[in-house]
Amino acid sequence: MIRIGTLHVFLDRREIRSNGKLLRIGSRAFEILELLIRANGALVSKDEIMQRVWPHTVVEENNLQVHIASLRKALADDRNLIVTVPRSPSCRTRCWASRAPACACSS
């Protein structure tokens, strides 16, 4: 289990919970979140996200922005934990998460 602000993320079950309640986000948004979590606070380029989440598909940058916005909405007051650095080469995003013991949150 990984904690991002008040959210509990279970990568193995592809679940996000807030106060014990299951949150619904799209599969692409979850893939982006997983990529950011696995980056462990490092910046991830827009191109890397696009290649990993849409590997064989041509998509507009707007698709990425929509999914990042939905993740920030899910984070609510902790939306600042996903940061986009727009003036860096090819726009980069990072997410701050902490790993917590699996028993810290009941399923």
Q: Give the pLDDT band (50/70/90) at residue 103.
A: very low
Q: For the segment 31-63, what is each residue's pLDDT rounded down to a tens digit?
A: 999 999 998 888 888 889 999 999 999 888 889
* pLDDT attached to residue 105: 27
* pLDDT attached to residue 81: 87
Q: Give the pLDDT band (50/70/90) at residue 95.
A: low
User: What are the residues whose beta carbons fall under 8 Å from the beta carbon of 8, sequence distance 6 or more?
Assistant: 1, 2, 16, 17, 18, 100, 104, 105
Q: Where is 22: in which H helix or E strand?
A: strand 21-23
Report the distance separating Cα 20 and Cα 41, nearest Å: 25
Entry pTM: 0.82
Backbone φ, ψ for residue 105 (5° rounding): -135, 130
Q: Give the pLDDT band (50/70/90) at residue 91.
A: low
Q: Give the pLDDT band (50/70/90) at residue 93.
A: low
